[in-house]
Chain A
Amino acid sequence: MIELNDVTKRYGSTVAVDGLSFQVRPGEVTGFLGPNGSGKSTTMRMIVSLDAPTSGTVTVDGRPYRDLRFPLRHVGALLEAKAIHPGRSARDHLRWLAESNAISRRRVDEVLEQVGLAEVADRRSGGFSLGMGQRLGIATALLGDPATLLLDEPVNGLDPEGIKWIRQLLRSLAAEGRSVMVSSHLMSEMALTADRLVVIGRGRLITEGTVADVVGQASTGSVRVDTPEPERLRSLLVRAGNTVSTEVDGALVVTGTTARDVGILAGDAGITLYELSPQSASLEEAFMELTRDAAEYTTGAAA
């Protein structure tokens, strides 16, 4: 369980995180979304006390991270792949981490096995690929068998098989009752993995909720309509105040209305329809829409 309460982080005059509050709950995968530079990594670093918030509180299981003794047993974090000396082997890296938190040596072998690095565990990590570095980072996070996991862009550099593996791993960790927080710029990935989403832009919370809620909130809902009389229907729709665009196959896409209203309008005018289908925004589109609003808001506020 992670709780942020009105957290602000300033670097000089730059506000990286601005009054952010949200929770990461047990038994769920919480997707943490935001464009580059929106304050995701800063937020995650504050959760594990690497950076101190300028104001507000961050707690893990009700306590500030810096008050935790042997915190790897409570929180496992992957904040950047390869936070490791290149001359040290993966096994030695995990070994010192385990020792620092009084975790058994056997556990090191277990997580190496679990992330698929057992065979290269004794090689210098400097020669690791991005994907291997990422797997080592995940091994680090799992080391203390923690109830809370915090993963910043875990699928970065992984091949499709690795991505699938991460997805299943995160789902199973949440199913075991753990709190899982994952940041990613791959929205489609979040749709498959996350239960809830926390969306931030410019350090501020834009929205949070279930994946369906967040997609629903985005106002890009549109209707696709195919007809033998596109020009006539278009002018009727435009007159009714809708925005209309034409697809490559000649069908119209109408935004700002519902399939029902388009159907009534066409029926009243006696226009034949071949197809009338509501288009729900993809997570990607919802995300773009939501964060664009944030950017506009910020610009407007500054003016």
Chain B
Amino acid sequence: MTATTIPTTTLTADAVPSTMRVFTANVRAEWTKLRSVRSTVWTLLATVGLAVGFGALIGASQMSSWDNLDAAERLRFDPTSFSLSGLFLAQLAVGVLGVLIVTSEYATGQIRATFGATPQRLTVLAAKATTFTGVVLATGLVASFSAFFVGQAIFASKGLDASIGDPGVLRAVFGGALYLTGIGLLGVGVGTLLRRTAGATAGLVGLLFIVPIVTGFLPSSFQETIGKYLPAQAGMAIFNVIPDPRALTPWVGLAVLLAYGAIALAAGAATVTRRDA
């Protein structure tokens, strides 16, 4: 062979790709990663299934005991918020998926292929979070709207159903999708920070399910001040159409949840560039 071809010469003649171009290329790559593993699809289906299934179950049981409720309990009944209660379980699937999109790369060694292909690690993390946000938001919308309409169909038996056009309802149902996205991003952040599936999953479950129980043992004054600022409890304020005096206001609550996610992601970002992969 006489002709020597050194491909780089032709490439360096091109302009150096911009950060934006590296980012969009990585969004496509992350989308392919998500799409090409069967467990992603199952987890997303589980998210919708849990949201609708548990929402329907709890709604039906509430309707069957409706006639025994006292006036105060009936007054507190928020058909929108109630129909979205399955999201409290669905968040587990979304949160674990968020953890796994990072920790499974460390577990399989694929992270070295990822950072080898794109040494701009913050760009990779941003692309991962962006792609995941898109997927979870879309799934969350399906889950939240399905849960709402199934729930209202059940409440209609007692004439208690809310309409999507009622004030605050659309915000709450759309907020359900935002809630799941916030939990998912919290998972991505915790996964990036801890890198191990077991530890990160335990950490996330602890934060969402165990810490609220533990604070339940605290004196009630502490419960009231701390409890509503926990990630899940804060975020679920977005479901409320009838104001709940024990919770934060809807948008503040959601903002608190998103702040948790942002802090976890920032902490993950700070460590991911410093550590050896």
- In the docked arrangement, what's the CA distance between A97 and B36, Å? 13
Given the complex, which residues of B lie within 8 Å of A99, measured CB to CB? 25, 28-29, 32
- Residues of B1-52 at the interface with A, using a CB-CB cut-off of 8 Å, are 1, 4-9, 11-12, 16-17, 21-22, 25-26, 28-30, 32-33, 36-39
Say yes or no: is A165 at the interface (Cβ < 8 Å to chain B). Answer: no
Given the complex, which residues of A lie within 8 Å of B25, measured CB to CB? 70, 99-102
Closest to B114 in A: A100
- Residues of A37-73 at the interface with B, using a CB-CB cut-off of 8 Å, are 45, 48-52, 61, 65-73
Contact between B11 and A74, CB atoms less than 8 A apart: yes
Say yes or no: is B157 at the interface (Cβ < 8 Å to chain A). Answer: no
Say yes or no: is B156 at the interface (Cβ < 8 Å to chain A). Answer: no
Contact between A140 and B6, CB atoms less than 8 A apart: no
Contact between B32 and A96, CB atoms less than 8 A apart: yes
- In the docked arrangement, what's the CA distance between A132 and B29, Å? 23
Contact between A87 and B37, CB atoms less than 8 A apart: yes
Contact between A50 and B115, CB atoms less than 8 A apart: yes
**Of B80-88, B90-98, B102-110, the one with at least 4 CB within 8 A of chain A:** B102-110
Say yes or no: is A213 at the interface (Cβ < 8 Å to chain B). Answer: no
Whether A70 contacts B17 in the complex (CB less than 8 A), given A85-B110, A99-B29, comes out as yes
Contact between B16 and A146, CB atoms less than 8 A apart: no
CB distance from B99 to the nearest CB of A (A): 15
Given the complex, which residues of B lie within 8 Å of A228, measured CB to CB? none
Say yes or no: is B246 at the interface (Cβ < 8 Å to chain A). Answer: no
Q: Interface size for chain B: under 10, 10 to 19, 20 to 34, or 35 or more residues? A: 35 or more
Given the complex, which residues of B lie within 8 Å of A102, measured CB to CB? 17, 21, 25
Say yes or no: is B119 at the interface (Cβ < 8 Å to chain A). Answer: yes
- In the docked arrangement, what's the CA distance between A178 and B5, Å? 8
**Of A17-25, A76-84, A255-263, the one with at least 4 CB within 8 A of chain B:** A76-84
Contact between B8 and A73, CB atoms less than 8 A apart: yes
CB distance from B23 to the nearest CB of A (A): 10
Say yes or no: is B116 at the interface (Cβ < 8 Å to chain A). Answer: yes
Contact between A84 and B4, CB atoms less than 8 A apart: no
CB distance from A278 to the nearest CB of B (A): 36
Say yes or no: is B277 at the interface (Cβ < 8 Å to chain A). Answer: yes
Say yes or no: is A224 at the interface (Cβ < 8 Å to chain B). Answer: no
Whether A83 contacts B1 in the complex (CB less than 8 A), given A69-B22, A88-B37, comes out as no
Closest to A126 in B: B108
CB distance from B25 to the nearest CB of A (A): 5
Contact between B277 and A51, CB atoms less than 8 A apart: yes
- Residues of A1-52 at the interface with B, using a CB-CB cut-off of 8 Å, are 26-27, 45, 48-52
Say yes or no: is A267 at the interface (Cβ < 8 Å to chain B). Answer: no
Whether A175 contacts B117 in the complex (CB less than 8 A), given A74-B8, A85-B108, A100-B29, comes out as no
A interface residues, tally (CB under 8 Å): 49
Contact between A51 and B120, CB atoms less than 8 A apart: no
Given the complex, which residues of A lie within 8 Å of B4, measured CB to CB? 27, 176-177
Contact between B112 and A80, CB atoms less than 8 A apart: yes
Closest to A73 in B: B11
Contact between A80 and B116, CB atoms less than 8 A apart: no
Cβ-defined partner of A176 (8 Å) among B5, B39, B108, B119: B5
Given the complex, which residues of A lie within 8 Å of B39, measured CB to CB? 87
- In the docked arrangement, what's the CA distance between A73 and B117, Å? 9
Contact between B109 and A82, CB atoms less than 8 A apart: yes
Closest to A82 in B: B109
Contact between A89 and B36, CB atoms less than 8 A apart: yes
Closest to B105 in A: A85
Say yes or no: is A95 at the interface (Cβ < 8 Å to chain B). Answer: yes
Closest 10 CB pairs of A and B: A177-B4, A92-B36, A100-B29, A147-B8, A96-B32, A66-B119, A51-B276, A83-B109, A99-B29, A99-B28
- Can you name 14 extra interface pairs (CB under 8 A) apart from A45-B112, A45-B276, A96-B32? A27-B4, A50-B115, A66-B120, A69-B16, A69-B22, A72-B117, A96-B33, A96-B36, A99-B25, A100-B117, A147-B6, A148-B8, A176-B6, A177-B4
